[in-house]
Copies of this chain bind each other. A is one copy, B any other.
Amino acid sequence: MRFVWIALLCVVMKGEPALMPKPAKLERLSGEQRVDASFRLAFQRAAAPRLERGAARFLERLTRQTGIPLKLGLAASVGAANLIIDCAQTTDAPLTLGENESYRLQINVEQARLTASTITGALRGLQTYLQLVDVGERGFAAPSLIIEDAPRFPWRGINGDVTSHFMPVPVIERTLDTMEAVKLNVFHWHLTDDQGFRVESKVFPKLHTLGTEGDYYTQAEIRHIVEYARDRGIRVLPEFDMPGHSGTWLIGYPELASAPGPYSIIHTFGVYDPALDPTKEAVYTFIDRLIGEMAGLFPDAYFHIGGDEVNGRQWKQSSTIQAFIKQRGLKDEAGMQTYFNQRVLPILKKHGKRMMGWDEILHQDLPKDIMVESWQNHESLAVAAQRGYKGLLSFGYYLDHLKSAGESYVVDPVGGPAATLTAEQKQNILGGEACMWTEFISPETIDSRMWPKSAAVAERLWSAAEVNDVADMYRRLDVVSHRLTFAGARHETNYEPMLRRIAPAAPLQALRAFADALDPTGIEHREVFQRYTQETELNRMADAVRGDSAVVRTLEANVREWLRTPTPEREAAIRRVLEAWRDNDARLTPFGPTSSLLREFLPLSKELAQLGAAGLEAMDRLSARRTDAAWARGQAALLERNRHVRLEVRMAAVRPVQLLVEAVNR
């Protein structure tokens, strides 16, 4: 019986491919196209070098994903090809915002054809093909179908902070590889801040030499990354945060500062006072020369000047600046910042760049061709769009908050406070960015903080607003998540080594069962427990835990289902998990003395055991169709303390157990 049920489920699941983002239009045809070592590509027309490289990368990815060697991937003729790429754009061109990314993919049993107007569109289609290839009854194959697809928003980004913690080039490369896999198209590179100035400047070398401990990108590396991203249809947007978050500029160039130095790298995190002095002409000369140099490295039309979190303290304390504010009638420090932005604007223009900044830059005195990125709230985006500014949403997509994929998935850039805008005003909202701030994130943990969640954000920004079924999203996300490993992401492969490190002698399965029952917590909960610096190790259970685990999610869904429709199979499945939780602590506890990193978290392991036991007791009562309010009340303290953040993690396991206890209380 159970066999039949699961097997049926598999067939149904096979029915709808796990595509993410979901394409605009999909029509299934009958049959499937086999993919084996004889698989060959062909170009319908002359292929530009970027498309040729894209095709080679496609074959390499297909090899990694399937294990089928495809180095001889080009067909002798179009007719002999398994997949024909028909791309109208036959010569390379720079990437632009709003570029046509649409494609059409038709897969028949004998041959598939990918049609696109642009190279980037063709690259998007190749990623769709990769997501369609899966092992089946007769080996690897892609289902026969017709997909017509195009993105809803033209700007779908990840903002990568490399200042709080430096991310070496390979981390950026694998981030770009994984972004391509889910059709994200902007890498917003937060390069400078109080914690580091991460770009080599030949014009002002003290920026990177004094603004880092040697961990910066050389100009050759920057060029490499920009090219690497372009190959993948990803624009690189540099951010040089000013006038605040600029402490590392002032170490070597204190003459730009609003207050006397000396300045040094700040190794802790937060909002600090250092700010450029907007009253000094030298500041604008400096910015002109710096942007001039950087414009040569970053070809994109947009240039992000940050502009966030200027606390104005240095400006308030400076009599010169205060006198300037009065003299010019600027009202206050916010006015001062707008003056600064107005001065920077022509400098950007001169170097062929359009201004972009966080929502603090929004001010009526700035022209409409600037771009505003809303991070503080969704309202500021609605206001900007209403006033005719172009804008992006980041609020709601903060990866460092470590919320579930589902929570970000339901945030729509033109939803919420932006829902009431006119259709024309909504056109001003160009998309969004998932923000990866790295205060509590290392090159080892960054993958599990970005992936697979950013795939859900990618779908929100690519697919139709109506594609919003959270359960279906997770069904596909679980499949896509494993696939992303083959694209280069390490969210899955770094998990076990991090767990083993915590307690090498303990059984890995028990460590994993424990970690899978926990959710990590974001920036708002970390420094409550301890003060962090760039030197703090990020090797604890709180760092290893990935969250959003399929174990808890599936259990929760199973409990809801079982409470509605009790079946013996479902009851058995639920009990298996609860029993494993109940018994897990006994497998971990003996190893407490061997590791401080494990011992610290054992109190939570005991909580998990109690939650498992409580869940089983609840099931006993529910199976016997007994409500028992007194017993349920007795569980209140257990549930209550496990709803709170402890040791910088949340007990995800409390959610399904709470459902069971509540059912007993009814």
- A interface with B by C-beta (< 8 Å): 2-3, 6-7, 10-11, 13-14, 36-37, 64-69, 71-72, 134-139, 213-215, 442, 444, 479, 482, 485-486, 492-493, 496-498, 500-505, 509, 534-539, 543, 586, 589-591, 593-597, 599
- Closest B residue by C-beta to A72: B213
Q: Is the CB of B505 within 8 A of A67?
A: no
A599 to chain B, nearest CB (A): 8
Cα–Cα, bound, A583→B593 (Å): 33
Q: Is the CB of A10 within 8 A of B537?
A: no
A498 cross-chain contacts in B, Cβ below 8 A:
67
Cα–Cα, bound, A137→B14 (Å): 49
Q: Which of B504, B538, B589 contacts A135 (CB 8 A)?
A: B504
Q: Is the CB of A596 within 8 A of B138?
A: yes
Q: Is the CB of B501 within 8 A of A6?
A: no
A597 cross-chain contacts in B, Cβ below 8 A:
135, 139
Q: Is the CB of B68 within 8 A of A537?
A: yes
A584 to chain B, nearest CB (A): 14
Q: Is the CB of B537 within 8 A of A67?
A: yes
Q: Is the CB of B71 within 8 A of A596?
A: no
Q: Is the CB of A493 within 8 A of B497?
A: yes
Q: Is the CB of B135 within 8 A of A14?
A: no
A66 cross-chain contacts in B, Cβ below 8 A:
501, 537, 539
- Closest B residue by C-beta to A138: B596
Contacts A6-B591, A135-B501 given; 11 further ones with Cβ under 8 A? A3-B590, A11-B593, A37-B536, A66-B501, A67-B444, A69-B538, A71-B213, A135-B594, A137-B599, A493-B493, A493-B496
Cα–Cα, bound, A503→B482 (Å): 12
A492-B485 contact, Cβ under 8 Å, with A69-B534, A213-B71: no
Q: Is the CB of B535 within 8 A of A3?
A: no
- Closest B residue by C-beta to A66: B539
A246 to chain B, nearest CB (A): 23
Q: Is the CB of B504 within 8 A of A215?
A: no
Q: Is the CB of B136 within 8 A of A594?
A: yes
A634 to chain B, nearest CB (A): 28
A214 cross-chain contacts in B, Cβ below 8 A:
71
Q: Is the CB of B482 within 8 A of A486?
A: no
A37 cross-chain contacts in B, Cβ below 8 A:
535-537
A65-B501 contact, Cβ under 8 Å, with A136-B595, A596-B135: yes
A482-B505 contact, Cβ under 8 Å, with A3-B590, A67-B537, A137-B594: no
Q: Which 10 A-B pairs have the closest CB atoms?
A: A67-B539, A6-B590, A493-B493, A37-B535, A68-B537, A10-B594, A135-B595, A7-B590, A485-B497, A139-B596
A71 cross-chain contacts in B, Cβ below 8 A:
213-215
A500 cross-chain contacts in B, Cβ below 8 A:
482
A11, A37, A590: most-surrounded residue (chain B CB, <10 A): A590
A589-B136 contact, Cβ under 8 Å, with A67-B537, A535-B69, A594-B14: no
Could you write out 12 A-B pairs with CB less than 8 Å apart?
A3-B586, A13-B505, A64-B444, A66-B501, A67-B498, A71-B214, A135-B504, A136-B594, A136-B596, A137-B595, A479-B504, A482-B504
A120 to chain B, nearest CB (A): 26
Cα–Cα, bound, A482→B507 (Å): 13
Cα–Cα, bound, A599→B136 (Å): 10
A247 to chain B, nearest CB (A): 19
Q: Is the CB of B136 within 8 A of A538?
A: no
A137 cross-chain contacts in B, Cβ below 8 A:
593-596, 599
Cα–Cα, bound, A213→B74 (Å): 12
Q: Is the CB of B7 within 8 A of A593?
A: yes
A553 to chain B, nearest CB (A): 15
Q: Is the CB of A10 within 8 A of B65?
A: no
Cα–Cα, bound, A137→B503 (Å): 11
A67 cross-chain contacts in B, Cβ below 8 A:
442, 444, 498, 501, 537-539, 543
Cα–Cα, bound, A444→B215 (Å): 31
Cα–Cα, bound, A496→B486 (Å): 12
A593-B139 contact, Cβ under 8 Å, with A497-B482, A497-B493: no
A497 cross-chain contacts in B, Cβ below 8 A:
482, 485-486, 492-493
A65, A139, A505: most-surrounded residue (chain B CB, <10 A): A505
Q: Is the CB of A539 within 8 A of B68?
A: yes
A175 to chain B, nearest CB (A): 18
A486 cross-chain contacts in B, Cβ below 8 A:
497
A535 cross-chain contacts in B, Cβ below 8 A:
37, 69, 72
Cα–Cα, bound, A505→B476 (Å): 12
Cα–Cα, bound, A594→B13 (Å): 10
Cα–Cα, bound, A493→B494 (Å): 8
A82 to chain B, nearest CB (A): 15
A539 cross-chain contacts in B, Cβ below 8 A:
66-68
Cα–Cα, bound, A139→B501 (Å): 11
Cα–Cα, bound, A536→B38 (Å): 10
Cα–Cα, bound, A139→B539 (Å): 11
Q: Is the CB of A10 within 8 A of B590?
A: yes
A13 cross-chain contacts in B, Cβ below 8 A:
505
A485 cross-chain contacts in B, Cβ below 8 A:
497
Cα–Cα, bound, A496→B494 (Å): 12
